[in-house]
Structure 1
């Protein structure tokens, strides 16, 4: 069953032996490039790995730059790839994606016992990622690994009512993806990145699963989540997928 603890916004066994989770502020800042001293962040990561039940240092992170790059990782991969999508072809590598308003996405194919590949992936989709197609590129990378029964879990991010942008920016993205256009509660131009990501996942052939009972999913509105808009530099939460 989905679980909420101080460390997790949502944490569930989504398939036998496969867990997906999204952390909360209680897990601490998990990003090396904002806020805390590197040793403090590494300590947060070690504690998270312990809670997950994976070996210390096993959790794979990306160097995220709002790119359109998707990396494939396995046991021979040493460094964090420069990418915004990351694929484990057999699902054996624990994967993490870091966000603080952007959309974290976890993907998983059916298990080998059910005729699938067991492949998993994580994706970082901000405004640039929605525009450059990182979601579709990640799904395509999974398809090339043989995945055919993909489920997706979309984690907490800034909502369409809170992500105010200039009018020309909204119009530019809306020309390619009309579903991304939104308005704030004040009626000003905005982008609805979660809705846009849902559309892109569905069009690419992934089934979007609902995070039941997870609480407020907007990072700006929920103080239990990190938000760059609300508190720049405070930290990053993680979307996670791993085998138990």
Structure 2
């Protein structure tokens, strides 16, 4: 179920799922009731039940949502869903439309299949400040990482640390030369070449540069999604599911 999981500081855990956890997204044509059952198993496996992970309706932007009462949102992906019961007693509630969530300890989730699932943890005066960030090419380009860190610091976070989950690497993310030049003009560390010699973008490299410039230490970097079939990869299979990056406190 978990590709990687650790208690990163007393009372706070970070994890990234793999294909053994199954598809966790409601927007990819999967059976909604089955998806929600997988999410419940994930919450049981993380030991947070009856609390719920807060998901978001991700749109490849830089909007940050401060989560006051976590665990009410159901979707992550293009197009919000809400108000429909997929099985008795299990409603799908609207999720925040954002590409980063910040909470004062509430469980958070971000779902991906090549983009970076970035998890951030900071120390607040009254407890940990958490963030889950969907950092794809458009989000990195438009500054979703600085926006999330700004919101965390506004919420009292200090000593912020980062976990870069599995994503497509700079050796595999082939793009047109014009797109590479456009992105690298803003994010020079994103410039890359594939292992077969064509233009590429290094999203983890660009994210790491942004984090380091903001004074955030990087604790973990996940493997390449494209190269590993135990992870979902949209570039390898456009009909794939989504895995999750997770952060939660222990009650």
TM-score, structure 1 normalization? 0.90
Task: Report what 1:4 is aligned to.
Answer: none
Structure 1 residue 27 and structure 2 residue 33: aligned? no
* Residues 125-164 of structure 1 mapped to structure 2, 5 A cutoff: 125-164=135-174
Helix, strand or coil for the counterpart of 1:109? strand
Answer whether contact 1:109 1:118 (CA < 8 A) is retained: yes
- In the comparison of the two structures, how many residue pairs are matched? 229
CA distance change for structure 1 residues 56 and 116 in 2, over 3 Å: closer, same or farther?
Answer: closer
Helix, strand or coil for the counterpart of 1:86? strand
* Residues 83-94 of structure 1 mapped to structure 2, 5 A cutoff: 83-88=98-103, 90-91=104-105, 93-94=106-107
Answer whether contact 2:51 2:71 (CA < 8 A) is retained: no
* CA deviation string 1:134-159 (max 9, x = no partner): 01100111011111210000000000
Residue 30 of structure 1, CA deviation: 0.4
CA distance change for structure 1 residues 188 and 177 in 2, over 3 Å: closer, same or farther?
Answer: same
Structure 1 residue 68 and structure 2 residue 62: aligned? yes
**Whole-Å separation in 2 of the counterparts to 1:76 and 1:22:** 19
**Whole-Å separation in 2 of the counterparts to 1:231 and 1:35:** 14
CA distance change for structure 1 residues 20 and 203 in 2, over 3 Å: closer, same or farther?
Answer: same
Structure 1 residue 200 and structure 2 residue 210: aligned? yes
Task: Report what 2:86 is aligned to.
Answer: none
Answer whether contact 2:165 2:220 (CA < 8 A) is retained: no
Task: Report what 2:248 is aligned to.
Answer: 242
1:102 to 89, 95, 115: 115
Residue 77 of structure 1, CA deviation: 7.7
Structure 1 residue 18 and structure 2 residue 12: aligned? yes
Answer whether contact 1:11 1:19 (CA < 8 A) is retained: yes
Answer whether contact 2:54 2:71 (CA < 8 A) is retained: no
- 1 or 2, which has the higher strand percentage? 2
**Whole-Å separation in 1 of the counterparts to 2:70 and 2:162:** 26
**Whole-Å separation in 2 of the counterparts to 1:28 and 1:163:** 24
Answer whether contact 1:116 1:149 (CA < 8 A) is retained: no
Question: Structure 2: where are the runs of 5+ without partners?
Answer: 73-93
Task: Report what 2:183 is aligned to.
Answer: 173
Task: Report what 1:227 is aligned to.
Answer: 233
Residue 28 of structure 1, CA deviation: 0.6
Question: Which stretches of structure 1, 4 residues or longer, exceed 3 Å deviation after superposition?
Answer: 76-79
Answer whether contact 1:94 1:242 (CA < 8 A) is retained: yes
* CA deviation string 1:196-240 (max 9, x = no partner): 0011111122111135xx6xx000111100000111122001000
> Alignment RMSD, CA only?
1.5
Helix, strand or coil for the counterpart of 1:137? helix
**Whole-Å separation in 2 of the counterparts to 1:16 and 1:77:** 22
Answer whether contact 2:53 2:71 (CA < 8 A) is retained: no
Residue 76 of structure 1, CA deviation: 7.2
Helix, strand or coil for the counterpart of 2:181? helix
